[in-house]
Amino acid sequence: VIVMAGPVARSWNGAQDGNWNKPGNWSPPGGPASSDDVTIPAGALHALVVNTNGLSCHDLHISQGATVIISPGKSLTTLGDIIIDAP
């Protein structure tokens, strides 16, 4: 029997800083994989800053009032849907 891990729903908490790659900035802890669905809620301790290339996720949900900063020349690839809550 081979057990393969499936996608994980991860929520940004920004507990340590704005770095996508730090496991402690996510709940549950761990950096998102390209198959994971990611939610960026409003009110995180630190805003999410994309400052490296090669980052990806499946669905990306940005809640109203949340902040996501993509540094010049950097990118975030979304393989599924992008959902942005608007007022």
Confidence band for 2, pLDDT divided at 50, 70 and 90: low
Q: Among 25, 33, 36, which Cα is nearest to 59's?
A: 36
Segment 42-60, tens digit of pLDDT? 999 999 999 999 999 999 9
With a cut of 90, say whether residue 6 has pLDDT above it.
no
With a cut of 80, say whether residue 3 has pLDDT above it.
no
Instruction: Give the mean pLDDT of the chain.
Output: 93
| Dihedral over Cα of 6, 21, 55, 38: its sign | positive
Helices then strands, each counted (H, E), the chain: 0, 9
